[in-house]
Structure 1
Amino acid sequence: MKFTLQHKDPKSDARTGTLLTDHGEIQTPIFMPVGTAGSVKAVHQRELTYDVKAQIILGNTYHLYLRPGLEILEAAGGLHKFNGWSKPLLTDSGGYQVFSLAENRKISEEGVVFKSHIDGSKHHFTPENVMDIQRSIGADIIMAFDECTPYPCDWDYAKKSMELTHRWLRRCQDRFDSMEGRYGYQQSLFPIVQGSVYKDLREASANFVAKQGRDGNAIGGLSVGEPAEIMYEMTSWVTRILPADKPRYLMGVGTPANILEAIALGVDMFDCVMPTRNARNGMLFTSEGIINIRNEKWKDDFSPIDEGFPSHVSQFYSKAYLRHLTISKEILGAQISSIHNLSFYLWLVGEARQKIQEGEFSSWKTKMVEKVSQRL
């Protein structure tokens, strides 16, 4: 994998770059649609390619490990072959899902023992076997196994958790570096910065991660309930330390405004379930603001969903029609809303990239944050 920096905004830390993988090129900043169980919910791979214009999608290690399972994925030749997605893939480590089980898992130095949410069966994740699992899934970018601290948590807990994550990272790297890719292409390992909302811990973790010299680095444990301003503060401390010549990935973030603010802090990669999850509940993110399509006010509004960006789906269907589908619980409503939201997110980061190249990002970002945050 090769990352090339291209442009930097003169008034912020925003930058553009190109990330080259064996499955294709990714232009940053980039948003990555989440395909938890090998599928971006309600969206065909063709639509991801031609309507959404996605350049990379995510798979979730925990869910894919449980179902369909590694035997099926390996027999298919990896997730790319199984789901028909030919572009780059990233897998998270499954850590966030495991730790969110709370009552059904036990953390130790060795790893985590947990019960499946599907059938209650017991499983064990370790730094080593999580590397093996992600190799088998076949992602281009593999995440280190970490503990995601809850918010709030006290400093002592956050410190112990961060140190455990660092020890696990060493084990992840030892295992990853001792293996070859399963399917004939290069795979890269990204470590994850932790430290909760404490500056000293975040800086210590960022320094530790930076010294590992991996192909890219991630920032985890944010967007878990803390105020947005604290998230931005943590991110700014970390991006000052993580190497500028490697991509920076802010995990699980977030709203359009969150993404624009984090781009200004030097973040390159984002993912979040919000555009698809909220779409299924009738919330649309648009170039003019946020729409609850279930509201009565859209009942006889025959204007396009969003005329502000060049998306076929967003300009072809009217708000009134989409409201009708949503209220009627027609599956097509969830599909149209999901494609629209994802298209908007990809358009937004593409516009940010262009504005950085033109040296106009900072002034454009200020206006866009205000627009995309308002409720219509």
Structure 2
Amino acid sequence: MKDDKIELSEEQIKQLAEISLHPLFTPFPQSIEDSYKFAWCRGLVMYTETILHGNWHKWLKILNKGEWNSNDPYPQIELSPSGSDEVRKMLKKSFEPLQYKGIRSYEFLSWIGYALGISWFEKPNIDDQSWKHLYENFNFDLFLKYPSDYLSLFLAENGSSGHLDYFPTPLQITIAMNRMLECEDEVKSITDLVYEPCVGTGAMVLPSRSLNVVASDLSHLMVRAAAIQAFLYKPSMLYVPRPVIGLHADPKELRINKYFELEVDSRIYWGDSLLGEFSCPKNIFLEGSEFVDVYFHPLDLEKHEIYLYEEELSKPWQSLSLEMQKKIVAAMAREIQPDRTMTNPPFNAKIPKHEKEHMEEIIKRNQAFIEDRKSKKRLSMFQQIEEEIEQKMDLITTDYKGVSKEQLMFAF
């Protein structure tokens, strides 16, 4: 940490030793040359975060154990609704000279994400002088010292324009919403599957006590900003390489009941929440990671993987191979519904003509898909999926007096 002297406890020293041995930890930079490498600052930020909050240490310990019990420590952080002027001044000082050179907020965020080694980001196209300026002036420590939603205001003021004009929900409101919606049952509040379909920079879910948050956004820029702030404040949203018993799986039945995705190791996705079709790096901390498709209750019935196993599910479970059982469980997990959906969608946004046409094509395919199966004996699970999709289709195709179709679609 810059210019700060902190007396560490024995427990903190132990935690620092453990975090520095984790595979995600990267060596401290020794010079500006090191800063041209992917993840050059990840270890340093994790080190500082461990001193101030210890959330990465707690989360990695939970992942390593593979289980969370109600008496175990868990990551949590108090975000300041107002934030710190010191952080805002640092951001302005870091970014303003870049603007004069035509460097956009996207490249600025890319520099930050590249430093942290998040695979949403590639090395930004920034000249050496500007890179040196950022290396000398950008201070990750301040974000950790004064936790808040700084990137929302930054992006609202610096280039998040176009058809998705960004009007962030104030953090004091999202903090209050989370507290009102969280139940008295502490364990349930921590384990509830919470979904935010228009995540922005994360203001709605960063204050959540849940360690089981899924987030998405239609904007590339917002998804990347949310990934940065999740790294700083909510690692359980950014990095989930495997299910955790007690959080994602029932501890008694060992049944996955709150974990919908098994092919990627992150819970922040880019894509259209109306279609339920998204994209995400397969490995969130691997440079150049391939991007894979992620489906979260897609409107297109053919993209519900569970239908691939319709025939196998009609057979006795014990007659199936272990490999087939695992595939079916993974597919069934993708049908899990969130316990809570929290969002403040951009009601001013207009859905492009080509997207509306695409939705209409899906609706026609779904109608044929359902009609073809009406005469068959169906498991209740498939009937429920199809009923939910039909309700969504009705919502899209029905005209409601005084309410725009765009508002209705962004709401579901």
TM-score band w.r.t. shorter chain:
under 0.3
TM-score, with normalisation over the residues of structure 2? 0.24
Larger radius of gyration: 2
Structure with a larger share of its residues in strand: 1
TM-score by length of 1: 0.26
Q: Which has the higher contact order (CA 8 A, sep 6+)?
A: 1
